[in-house]
Amino acid sequence: MLPVNPPAERLGCENAVLSGRGERYFVPDFEGGLSIKSVMEGTAVWETGYRRFPLNEDCWLILNDRQRYTIYD
């Protein structure tokens, strides 16, 4: 079973599921690991370089390892 919301020091070292909920969300210029992004309700936008990827409940996005991105709702 994959760990859900493991401690930050374990991220990037093992597979994990991250889950969160919020009214407002903003993370600027973050370098993440290989990941699948989705939203369960509402919308959120991921930006990578010059591209915008708005996601809702019907979409998902794969980001490469070390891909820098900004996320906001």
5 in a structural domain: no
15 in a structural domain: no
Kindly report the pTM of this predicted structure: 0.81
pLDDT at 48: 95
59 in a structural domain: yes
Handedness of CA 49, 24, 12, 9 (dihedral sign): positive
Instruction: State the virtual CA torsion across 6, 16, 1, 3 in degrees, nearest 10.
Output: 10
pLDDT at 71: 94
43 in a structural domain: yes
50 in a structural domain: yes
The torsion region of residue 49 among left (phi > 0), alpha (psi -120 to 50) and beta comes to left
| pLDDT tens-digit series, residues 6-63 | 898 888 788 888 888 877 889 999 998 899 999 999 999 999 998 999 999 999 999 9
16 in a structural domain: no
Range of the domain at 52: 24-72
What's the structural domain count of the chain? 1
7 in a structural domain: no
